Structure 1
Amino acid sequence: MKKLLLILAAMLFTGAMQAQVEINDVDVESEEEEEETTEVRAEDEIDFTDKDGNEEIIEFPAAMTYDLDSLMNLYMSKTYLATPGDCQMTNENPEYPKEVYIERLQRIPSVMELSYNDIVQRFIDRYAGRLRYSVSYMLGTFNFYVPIFEEALEAYQIPLELKYLPVIESALNPKAVSRVGAGGLWQFMPATAKQYGLTINSLVDERRDPVKASYAAAHLLKDLYQIFGDWNLVIAAYNCGPQNIKKAIQRHRAARGRTDDEAMTAEDKDYWQLYPYLPAETRGYVPAFIAANYIMTYYCEHNICPMRTKLPMQTDTVVVNKNIHLGQIAGALNIDIEQLRALNPEYRHDVVPGTTKPSAIKMTISDISNFIDHQDSVFNYRTSDFLTNRAVVDVNDDLPTFSRSRRGAYSRRSGRGSRSQRNARLRRGRNSGGGGGGTSVTIRKGQTLSEIAKRNGTTVAKLRKLNGIKGNNIQAGKKLKVR
């Protein structure tokens, strides 16, 4: 069975079980810091009131806010996914007593702690309710990727339930890019990706390669486990970085009056005890992961039907040692270029840089045979149209007929004009605040008050006072005074 699943993957892309836990309710150090770590757009967050009546805002992982239409427009979705056949999808989401959720989480075969509490319940409700059609899509898409994920995780002896991390990281979109620059199925930041052997340059982004990125992610998860020794802290560190987890541990220990000389306790590595000291998105990250494990296991109990996966054609790779454009292959061999792009998402501009180093191209078996039989004509197909970077160029040495003095005068005039224009632009920038004489910025999509405050050396409280804002909601495209 495993061999069959691995073949399917190649066709596309060559138990500690715990019950309910209580969240440690500890005040964070300062009100302003709390604002800066929890502020996001309203549609990206949930308001939560704990058992003691304390209110907080919890951020959703970015993948829980993706538009389903954009996912369905991916080539693999349009080509190899179909609406469920014998399963009738409805909008009815049954509600169960919390004891049912606790018991179901305990039944999932896991070496990780998949605990239940009210926050986990809110994330389960989100997946089973508003995101139920996205879950249907991901259940179908997951068939493409699960053999790749499991093989990479097993290679590093990582719990297989971590195969659901890409569900909350990217919604299983290999081309997903976050607003902070994380990319691919596993949402690697560029520096971390390079640290774990993934190539990123103007032509190639191996974060998009499902196989290479999965092995890099498994390696990173292994390293994080060697640091923290707890899988919930590992996935929290995967989200916000190990330094933020270490800071949370230090703050928790300080709140308990523990010194650096005292040994670490189990409580010091308990995600739910560290919860109040974590960044806002990370507070929602582990609950989202637990909810993803739940919904990908118990989707039938919530009337969610997986999209049907159609069997794709078998693929393999061919290695080239000189540059070639996917458009050359598509044109010369009469292949759908969208298929080539879907099979080779790591090539950012359709250029395979074989001259830099031998590079692999994924194609169907029949197309590879055709490529090998006609590779000379493929490499020569409309080369000047597709590969426009010239290796050698001639310099135009036809000198203008006007005199040297005139050339010099022209250059000086041009230079004075350029400096004048630059000075005018600088003056306009300094006075962009309008009649108030202050400085304003234009709010970009996805920005928060916290981000704008940090960029401009001010605080959220000052921005609110200066602009008469109550709450956290700001609108992209509007001007915001920062001075």
Structure 2
Amino acid sequence: MPSAVVLSRLTLLSLALLAGCASGGGNTRPAGKATPAVNALYDRMNQASKGYEASIDQARRGDTPAADKSRGAALDQLKDASARCGLTPGCDPQRFISVFDRLLRLKDGSFIEGEDSDDMAGTPESGAAPGDAGASPVAGIGALPQAQRSVTMLRGHQFSDLMVMNGPVKAALEMWLTQLRPNLMDAYVNYQFMRYRMWPEYRQADLPEALLFGIMAKESGGKVHAVSRSGASGPLQFMYATGLRFGLSNTDGFDQRFDPSLAARANAQYIDEQLEVFNNNLELTLAAYNGGEGRMRRMAAANPGVSFYDPQIYNQMSPETRDYVPMVLAAAWLFLHPDSYHLKWPKVDGEPGAIVLKRPASLSELTVCMGSAEGMTDGWFRTLRNLNPRLDPMIVQSVGTRLDVPKQLEKVYASSCADGPWPILANDLHSAVRLVAPPPPPVSSPAPAKPQGAKSYTVKRGDTLVSIARKSDCADVEDLARMNGLKGHNLKVGQSIRIPVCR
């Protein structure tokens, strides 16, 4: 059965299960001993699940026809049982939805041959450019043996085994697919151009690429020079002290937290260290990355074996960390399974290249002369900055300077930026004299009025030294008290006092 057909059937099955939930609300009974009819449906559900798992083993052995047949029968059985569940009093449709979630996640790392060999081509899991089966956009990354397992395994576990598809994660999936969809797409494009620098560091640490993408998407969106309000910097947002701990220092005036390769290496070391501390609990590790490992270690020590989502842990987390963990996991999950969520990643050719300047130019000027070449409607500024993080984009680089660029921009530079009208235009814009308004003259406070003589004032009912002083522009309460020899600021009705006359 082709991968697309399997996915379609799984999707239709999920809709049927949800429909069963909606229609079965009136058929439930109080919790208690299940009826024989309900137990029979649960048995069919378990049989369907085992049948689907058996099809995976058949696919691994290369028996594709048998795998297709077993898988189809299992899905049909599960669909029929779930439909009957919605009509059977006491049956819990949520149990069927949970099974569906698990079967969908079995696509992650389970199929080495058969249907998913087609599905793997053109996804991040295979190392190939989306839509370009068998080709690697990055030199030295494609053609990895068992590439899918390399991506999805984490400390001997499939990434799917470490994912809890609960409410917070599903809410995060919806957020990425709706309000934050542009951010997710930008992060993906930015990552693909930096992939050859970042992914090898994770691969060497035997960590899943999807996790790297998920952290980067949430932390910076793939903007190498991102700096948070708290001072966290770089594509993976290291605090200064934590960066130093993992080798990210300031060298020749350059903050190494902005280097995508060094940041990925430090991040991999951090994740590996914390997985050891938290017994491979990915959620607690991510919470430590966001909220501080000291705090997480104290909570984990006080609640051994408790998951991140347990109220004993979850309720002590800051709102930011409670949001951070599922958002990272959701982005990682979408990186692996875009088709399952009606998401299509853009095709990005991230093969690395380089240019040598034939005329002086800044990154800003190169961005102008390259325009929207190769279909980059947003321009190349972000990519040029990400690949050359040590350079100030406004400073003109001399002839002979070597710059890292995507391979496809080598020809663009030769045709549009080495000569002709576009570099002249770019230089003219860059060299424009910016008008600087002169600073406003300092505002001088008017000199306070000085007293000139005095006049007599008769105290009336309700008068106080404060109210009388307000009528004078050159005397305050203490002035009046000294002038009239008043102690305690006491006044009597009919009393005559002197008030300064201001000039």
Q: For this structure pair, what is the TM-score category when the shorter chain's length is used for normalisation?
A: 0.3 to 0.5
- Scaled by the length of structure 1, the TM-score of the pair is 0.44
Higher alpha-carbon Rg: 2
- Scaled by the length of structure 2, the TM-score of the pair is 0.42
